[in-house]
Structure 1
Amino acid sequence: MKKIGRSDIIGQRGMSLIEGVVLSMGFMFYPTGGVEAGIDGFIELRDTDTGEVGNLLLQVQGKATERERLQGDTGDTFEFPCSDADIAYWTQGTAPVLLIVASLNEGKAYWKSIKEWFADPERMKSRKVVFDKAKDEFTRASKAALVSVAAAVRPGASGPSVRKSEQLLSNLLGVNFASKLYWAPTPQSNDKTFGTALRELEKNAGSEWIVRSKSVLSFHPLDEWPWNKLCEWEAMEEFDVEEWSNSDDEDRQRDFVALLNRAIGEFVRPQLYHDRDSGVFYFRKPRERDNLNFAYRSLQNTTTRRVVGRYGKKKIDPTRAAYWRHSGFMHRFVKMAGKWLVEITPTYHFTHNGEDADAFAGERLKKIKEIENNAAVMGQFVMWRDFLLTHRTEDLLTQRYPFLSFSATDLLELDIGVPDELWKSQESDPSSPLFEYALSGETVEDVS
């Protein structure tokens, strides 16, 4: 008599599990049936709102098992070995291939995009696919990632929309400045000589001024001390700031930006230092502590971030400092649609003793930027936004800084958005936005 073997039942149960997940996404699943060389079915993407299909297909190689323990199971990951023939067949085709392993005892399935996985020569050499049980589980939530795989097949390909609208947070802040500027002739020929003479008169005098063609332009009234000792204050002229901020003259706009750069340097003191070589403003190390935490208002609640951290030499002596990492930002003043804005770019500054620049700063920064993801950069920007919006505002202990302040910009509204899963699927470690872990064998020593 003809028989249907146990392996056939197991295989069909696995395909049914896979098909159920696909249908829950609103996509279609077509079993291959009959003779096939390594493809068990096709997933066709479908717009769940309109029902439209665009001939975007994913091939599926399904594997089902009733084993209680998957091969190479560590609790968090497991392995699936592949033959050279299978790898060649899957990777040389025109359509993306998904390897989906159905664990029938768990009632779960796990997936990988084969072409993406074996694009790494080391993985190709091992002939193994390693599944992360948390990240690679095949569920309805995998929908956006499947769209990403299918849409990347050819230029111009587009998948069905997963989200109709989205709000974007830009790295721009509004800029507000004093309403008046003051001009006067000066015998000093440039910023350096003027600054030297000024510091001799008043060590803590502000820097909100520039010298051009033996004249000084300043946010400070130049008929007051100590400015009146360095310029012909009797010839001082007072101007509305709009004569520079709204001017079409390129020289005036450059001078105004130079004044804003001077003002922001004064504004961030004393909490931040300025590295002249890189242009980075960064948190300084506390005198009596090796680490510094900064509390701020994030997108949802109040949180704390380590903004100065001491890193030890783990392989040699963890108690010896290798370097300090300081949270910092670079800035650029820009004018858009008649409004002045400042662009904030989060970054890091490195010192070898908490004060002086580290000789390996470039390598350390490059290492972080290679793994830093969208969530990490956004988190840092939100911190700097809170710092700039609240710093030197008037309270019981401090007076408001009179020459410069910042304001939040509105969220940008888009009719069509990109699902977060599509960003995360391209990032090396979406789960670690703060990077408070050791890099390349080094460890952070918290001795605060």
Structure 2
Amino acid sequence: MSKKITDNQLLGEIGETAARLRFLKIGFQFDVRSRLEAGVDAIVEVMDNGVPLAQMIAVQVKARHGNAYASEDENGFTYIVRSEDLEYWRPSNLPVIIVLYRDSDETFFWKEIPRGSDDSERRLRFDKKLDCLDADAVDRLAAITVPKAGFGYYIPPLGRGENALVNMLPVTFPPEMYVAPTTHSAKDAGRILLDLDEPARFDWVMKSDTLWSFQDPRKTVCREIVELDQVEAIDTRHLAFHEDVHERNVFAHLLRRVLGHQFYKDLGWDKDRGQFYFKALAANASRSFSYKSSKQKASSAVVNVAMQKADPTRVSFVRHHSFIPRFENLMDEWFLVVNPNYYFTTNGFQPHSYPAELLAGKKRLDNSASLRGQLILWHRFLTRQDGSADDLFAEPNLEVQLKFGEPPEVHLATKVPEDAWGTKKAKDNGDDSTQAEIEFL
């Protein structure tokens, strides 16, 4: 009987060859071990632009022709490691990864083998996007070669890097502002304004017995709370860049109050958490914001109604896009720091009684792309009234007091691995805004 190479032998050789080519393409060395190997097919060396770093990874390749993986869907699948393999890999002095190759669609997925002693770790869950073996996996592969013991560790930057947006918008304010003495406290002044027939406005602050405002109080409803004959116009920079930090803090508070007044039709203020949020237009109704992104027209659901899973006819909660504002003075410029967040209500108007758990669940779903998208969304919204953004439905506002510039962009030496943002959780069925939020410059 003549000798014959089995299909499994051929498949194993195809898998190793394909894996070697894949690692070479992403810039790593791939050295196949001898035929005496018992569970490690090759040793991979991390390289940075062709420079070997003496950081090694043990690799075991598992190949198949075209069979589906266990529990496979469009998002991922499950793979069960053999007990004897796991027992062999655990004491390794090198990080061990398993690479799964499927010949029919030429897909590669990888996962680090856990070092613990729990048998439940035999079941590995692969994410088809996150665990794909391609150029985007370079930094994650390098990271597993760094010892995590001790007081800290450094993960070397690899790859081509990426551009990142700083969540700070330059602020431009009127060159002139008004100060006026008053005999009222801030609380009494607010009560007086609310009792008048004219709409009240609160785009002012009080320091001691002086009112600060960008609007001439003699021409607004604020004439009722100041000494009209002592109103004085001054150079805004005198207070904006005052040497006394307490004066600058009062000015920052004025900017926050002005921001709230400028967008009061669209934004509500959550005093408990210090954040602005998109108002709902009707009870239990979603709301979208349409704008022109850097590349194309976009629309994002800024108020989203989530239905109960057990009863799809009943509203579970309403989620509003929000941001926590902070005005900062850096050198000779003021910035609005935008920290994207979420606000929760029961019907769009009534605050939710237990928002912390909902917020934590939503935050686990955020990644760098969604946060970038939210920052761009807020910039487009905040600039739509002054004509600096091409909002599809912008309305002119003659009382624009604050204008906002583009967020600064910086170049990072390396891409931020997506798993650095937290563990990927199940999809949030109540959210239909993700697609519109992801935006790259």
Q: TM-score range by the shorter chain?
A: 0.7 to 0.9
Match for residue 437 of structure 1 among 422, 429, 433: 429
Structure 2 equivalent of residue 64 of structure 1: 63
In structure 1, C-alpha distance between the alignment counterparts of 2:428 and 2:293, rounded to whole Å: 17
Question: How far, CA to CA, are the matches of 2:263 and 2:407 in structure 1?
Answer: 20
2:170 counterpart of 1:174: yes
Which amino acid is the alignment partner of residue 411 of structure 1?
E
The runs of 5 or more residues in structure 2 that have no matched partner are: 432-441
Tell me the equivalent position of 1:83.
Answer: 82
Aligned to 1:33: 34
Match of 2:398 among 395, 400, 403: 400
Deviation at 1:308, TM superposition (A): 1.2
For residues 59-78 of structure 1, what are the alpha-carbon distances to aligned partners after superposition, in whole Å with 9 as ceiling and x for unaligned? 01123345x42553646555
8 Å CA contact retained: 1:257, 1:333: yes
* 8 A contact 2:305–2:430 mirrored in 1: no
Task: For residue 194 of structure 2, give the secondary structure of its aligned residue in structure 1.
Answer: helix
CA RMSD of aligned residues (A): 3.2
Superposed displacement of residue 375, structure 1: 1.3
Q: Distance in 2 between matches of 1:426 and 1:214?
A: 47
- The runs of 5 or more residues in structure 1 that have no matched partner are 440-448
- Tell me which residue corresponds to 1:95: 94
**Matching residue's letter, 1:404:** L
| Aligned equivalent of 2:24 | 23
Q: Which amino acid aligns with 2:418?
A: W
> Deviations 1:195-252 (Å, cap 9, x if unpaired)?
1112333531321222232232222324445434432222333211111001111221
Give the distance between the partners of 2:58 and 2:421, measured in 1 at CA.
21
SS in 1 for 2:13: helix
Identify which of 282, 307, 310 aligns with 2:305: 310
Q: Aligned residue for 1:442?
A: none
**Closer, same or farther in 2 for the Cα pair 1:197/1:148, shift >3 Å?**
same
Residue 356 of structure 1, CA deviation: 1.5
1:418 aligns to 2:414 (yes or no): yes
Matched residues in 1 for 2:124 and 2:91: separation?
17
Instruction: Say if 1:73 and 1:423 are closer, same or farther in 2 by CA, change over 3 A.
Output: closer
Are the aligned partners of 1:184 and 1:235 in contact in 2 as well (CA < 8 Å)?
Answer: yes
Relative to structure 1, the CA distance from residue 202 to residue 336 in structure 2 (aligned partners, 3 Å threshold; closer, same or farther) is farther
Q: Residues 146 and 292 of structure 1: is their aligned pair in 2 closer, same or farther, counting only changes over 3 Å? A: same
Report deviation, 1:279.
Answer: 1.7
Offset at residue 136 of structure 1 (A): 4.0
Equivalent in the alignment of 1:272:
267
Decide which of 322, 339, 361 is 2:316's aligned counterpart: 322
Q: Which amino acid aligns with 1:338?
A: D
Q: Distance in 2 between matches of 1:207 and 1:320?
A: 38
Give the AA of the match of 1:175: V
The change in CA–CA distance for 1:332 and 1:63 in structure 2 (over 3 A counts) is same
- 8 Å contact kept, 2:320–2:344: yes
Q: Which residue of structure 1 aligns with residue 258 of structure 2?
A: 263
Q: Against the structure 1 CA distance between its residues 60 and 270, is the aligned structure 2 distance closer, same or farther, given a 3 Å change threshold? A: same
Contact 2:181 2:230 in 1 (8 A): yes
1:113 maps to 112
Asked if the contact 2:269/2:276 (under 8 Å) is kept, the reply is yes
Deviates more, 1:147-156 or 1:201-210: 147-156
CA gap of 1:161–1:30, structure 2 versus 1, over 3 A, is same
1:343 pairs with 2:337: yes
Contact 1:151/1:157, CA 8 A, preserved across alignment: yes
1:201 and 2:196 correspond: yes
Contact 2:364–2:423, Cα closer than 8 Å, also in 1: no
The residue that corresponds to 1:446 in the other structure is: none
TM-score normalised to the size of structure 1? Answer: 0.84
1:230 is matched with which residue?
Answer: 225
2:289 aligned residue = 294
